[in-house]
Amino acid sequence: MSPSELSLLPKLFWVVVSVVGAIAYGLVIGGIIRKVMARIQGRIGPPVYQPYLDLFKVIFQRTATWHGYMFYLGPVFRAAGAIGLFLLIPVVFGDPRFDNFSFNGDLLMVMYFMFFGCLGMALGAAEGGHPHSVVAITRGLSQMTAYELPFSLAVVAIAAQTGSFSVHQIVAAQQGGVGHWFLFTNPLAAVAAFLAFLGMNMYSPFDIVLAPQEIPIGPPTEYNSAFMSAMMSGRAIFGVAKCVLYMDLFLGGATTILAAIVKVFFIYFWSIFVGAVFPRFRTEQAVRFFLGWPTAAGVAAVLAVMLF
């Protein structure tokens, strides 16, 4: 439990700043990804600020249809879940301004809060009544359950090694030089977690979940206008939040904003670079992949903690 050193109003101020900053950064990363992927594929690609244009465009669009309450609550869940997730993770170690609301819960809370947005999205899309959205959701759920196994093992290994589920303590345990990062002190756990991260980020080869969007039907088609904007910003901040979490768990956290930005960028682009060179897995192949080597690495990590 880390008592917040700021009183409520300054706290809220810094929280708003972090959230806006994270969304902005997330959108930039999205732009860079599109640029990078285009270059890899020999295209020029859209400008880096393209996501901003898209966002502002959809914010000011208006929908004329009404699908039912749950349908519209879906993006709300999604955005609230993503922002909430971000708010539960301390961004900069030892800086109360960027501590967010991490006093609300520990690593377990963060793990489970990740699902909040997915759940809302799944329900909303399903109410749309389009069978293909449901196909996408079942694929997503199948894949999610699979990559959670190596991730759980990694989390358990780290928690066991630290003796705590508190993210603060986990970061604190890695201070004092690069050699203290869990990336190096528990490389097996890091392997498991970073392989799981590929699935979590849903880029190739684990992007079959998003395939129905390409046809083009599924959630993004059904959701338009302001709902789309909520989803887009949700997605942006969700990506950043996951990277921040990985940074805290394996890369020793960050003591400055700049370090956080750099580390997040590299973590994010780990999945992009892998995605750029691998073709897409079918769902069952993806599931089996995660239950294979990543899980073995995770089990080895846990055993290592138990034995040494």
Site for another protein in 72-91 (CB under 8 A): 72-73, 75-77, 79-80, 83-84, 87-88
- Pairwise CA distance, residues 301 & 186, whole Å: 7
Q: What angle do CA 121, 166, 306 make, to 5 degrees?
A: 105
Which listed range, 91-99, 107-115, 239-247, 269-277, lies at the site for another protein (CB under 8 A)?
A: 107-115
Considering beta carbons, is residue 33 or 237 the nearer one to another protein?
Answer: 237
What 3-state DSSP class applies to 93?
coil
φ, ψ at 101 (rounded to 5°) = -105, 35
Q: Is 10 or 131 the residue whose CB approaches another protein more closely?
A: 131
Binding segment (CB under 8 A) for another protein, from list 163-171, 240-248, 250-258, 264-272: 163-171
Shortest distance, position 305 Cβ to another protein, whole Å: 7
Residue 307 engages another protein in binding (rule: CB under 8 A) = no
Residue 241 CA to residue 236 CA, distance in Å, equals: 9
Contact call for residues 270 and 194 (beta carbons, < 8 A): yes
CA distances from 106 to 16, 85, 228, 279 (A): 21, 11, 31, 36
Taken in order 67, 30, 202, 90, the sign of the CA dihedral is: negative
64 binds another protein per the rule CB under 8 A: yes
- Least Å distance, CB 181 to another protein, is 21
Question: Which of 32/300 has CB closer to another protein?
Answer: 300
Is residue 126 exposed (0-12), middle (13-18) or buried (19+ Cβ within 10 Å)? middle
Q: Which of 12, 51, 23, 15 is nearest to 238 (CA)?
A: 23
Start-to-end C-alpha separation, the chain: 28
200 contacts 269 by C-beta, under 8 angstroms? no
For another protein, the binding residue among 22, 91, 157, 200 (CB under 8 A) is 157
Smaller CB separation from another protein, 33 or 228: 228
Of 11, 105, 185, 272, the one binding another protein (CB under 8 A) is 105
The window from 27-35, 49-57, 147-155, 194-202 that contacts another protein (CB under 8 A) reads 147-155
Site string for another protein, 196-225 (x = CB under 8 A): -------------------xxx---xx--x
Asked if 301 contacts 157 with a C-beta cutoff of 8 angstroms, the reply is yes
Among positions 235-274, residues that touch another protein (CB under 8 A) are none
Q: How far is CA 268 from CA 42, 161, 207, 239, in A?
A: 22, 25, 15, 8
Choose, by CB under 8 A, the member of 37, 123, 172, 257 that binds another protein: 123
> Residue 128 in 3-state DSSP?
coil
Cα torsion at 219, 222, 228, 234 (round to 10°)? -20
Q: Which is nearer to another protein, 45 or 253 (CB)?
A: 253
Answer yes or no whether residue 131 interacts with another protein by CB under 8 A: yes
Nearer to another protein, 242 or 263 (CB): 242
Determine which residue in the list 152, 185, 213, 255 makes contact with another protein, applying CB under 8 A.
Answer: 152
Q: For another protein, which residue of 6, 24, 226, 257 counts as binding (CB under 8 A)?
A: 226
Q: Which stretch binds another protein (CB under 8 A): 45-53, 236-244, 257-265, 300-308?
A: 300-308
